[in-house]
Structure formats: structure tokens, C-alpha cells
Homo-oligomer: A and B are copies of this chain.
Amino acid sequence: MRNKRDGSVQSVSRAVDLLEALSDGEEHGVTELGKQLRVHKATASRLLATLAQRRLVYRNPATDKYRLGLGLIHLAGSAMAGIDLIGQARPILEDLAATTSETVNLAVLDGNQVMHVDQIAGTRNIVNVSWVGRRTPLHCTANGKVLLAFLEAPERDRMLAPPLEALTGNTITSRRKLERQLTEIRGRGYARAIEELEDGLNVVAAPVRGADGGVVAAVSVGGPAFRMRPRELGKLGRMAMDAGAAISRRMGFVKGRRSNGST
């Protein structure tokens, strides 16, 4: 009607809303979901029936409640296979996780955020929170800073629409200061984020290059600040760099070639 001039298809949009509402991993009932989306339960019922028929949601026959379905794994699997990055990176991430005992992540640029596409949990961790599929800001994560550092300046400008939100006391909110760090990162080869995203969380990250020399992803090693002391970050950073280089090689990157950033 008035606000529908975005050209999007209402029922599809609502269906995606349903999927996202279910993405907490819990089971939800029809009425409950209807309320959450502000649509009548009849509508929710029909949308869910459609999604269930296509296996994007699964209906628990016992409780009659819905959760996300295995069809999504199929689609996501294809999405990942398309990238091919994850398959190539996996064994190297595992090595890196084994030698550092910390959590290792692989991340790519998604819009103006960092998308985590794979993770190997550190052996030292009790609780195993998966970051896969989660997005975080660019300016306050090690992965994000790597991805930013190797971007063209105009692109970077588009990504970094002010203000840079402060998530902890350490978050860099000045564009100038951030640019200085990015220059450092390009020179040194890896990035650090010291309690910039979460208090008590330190991360280092290094670039992964594709066949054409462009940076396509970032590998990170992260853990609690009490284990990842500043003086050890150098060693971990170099390990991340080695892993990044190894993945790059598998992606067809030939050493010595330079990413000049041209198309």
C-alpha cells in the first residue's frame, strides 16, 4: 500500500521473517509466530505449511511446533560449495586450531559487515559458541580490519559510514586512527583486535587471497584476554599469516603476485 513501494513481495518477505524468527534454534508454535510477525495465525499457518512442504522448516510431529529444517542445510551447503573456500580452508583451519588451542574463524565480507563462514572451536574452550553465520561490524574486529585494509579506498568509505559505534572502551571510533591501523596492518601482514568487540576477547587475523591476488577472506585466532596476552599476539599473528598464505595457495594464489587492487 503506502509503504510497499520497495517492490518486494509481501508473502515471501514474511516467509523469510518466519525463518529468521526460527533462527534462534528453538521450537515455536504457529500462534506464537503469528503474534511475533503481527500477522494472523491463519496466515502464519499457511506460510509455515508451505515452508515445511519445501523442507525449509521442520514440524515436530509430537509437539506440532516448528524449527528450521534440513532443507536449509542443503541450500547452505551449495552456497558454501559455490565459494569452495570453506572446503579448501577446513584442514588448514584445523591445523591452526590444533597448534594454537584457540578458536579459529574464517570470515568474508558481507555487505558492510563481517560474515563468519566457518569455525573450529579451540580445544581449551568449555562452551562452544558457534559464530558461523553471525555478522559483526568491520571496524572493531580483527577479521574486519583485515578485510578493510585490503579494500579500495572508495569502497572502504562506503563501508565505514559514520559513526563508528563503540562496543567496548577499546573500540576505535576515530576514522583517522582506524586508517592508521589499516596501514600498519598492510605492512605487518596481520591485524589485532584487543578487547574492541567484547571485553576480555582478543583476536588476531590475517588475509586470504584468491587466484587473482585479491583478498577474499580472513582467518582469525581468538581467545580470552588472559590467555592471549599482547606479547604473544605477534607469534599468533604470524601463525595466522602462515595459515592464510596456505589457504591462499590452495585457492590458486601464486606467491609474489601483488594485489594491485585493479579490477
On A, residues with C-beta under 8 Å from B are 6-9, 11-13, 15-16, 19-20, 22-26, 46-47, 49-51, 53-56, 62, 67-70, 72-82, 87, 90-91, 94, 108, 110-111, 115, 117, 121, 128, 130, 132-135, 263
Contact = CB atoms under 8 A, between A and B. Distances in A.
Q: Report the 10 A-B pairs with minimum CB-CB distance, sorted nearest first.
A: A77-B133, A25-B82, A76-B76, A74-B133, A68-B79, A23-B78, A8-B50, A77-B132, A16-B54, A12-B15
Contact of A72 (B11, B13, B72, B263): B72
A80 B58 CA distance: 13
Contact of A56 (B16, B47, B50): B16
Contact of A68 (B56, B78, B94, B133): B78
A102 B56 CA distance: 31
15 contacts: A6-B53, A8-B49, A9-B15, A20-B75, A24-B78, A25-B78, A68-B79, A68-B82, A70-B108, A72-B72, A72-B79, A73-B115, A77-B134, A87-B121, A94-B94
Given A13-B50, A50-B9, A87 B133 contact: no
Most buried by B among A23, A49, A76: A76
Given A8-B49, A12-B15, A79 B75 contact: no
A99 to B, nearest CB: 15
A128 to B, nearest CB: 6
Nearest to A131: B77
Nearest to A45: B7
Contacts of A49: 7-8
A1 to B, nearest CB: 11
Given A68-B82, A70-B79, 14 more contacts: A12-B12, A12-B51, A13-B54, A19-B75, A26-B82, A55-B110, A68-B78, A69-B79, A70-B110, A73-B115, A80-B130, A80-B132, A91-B121, A94-B94
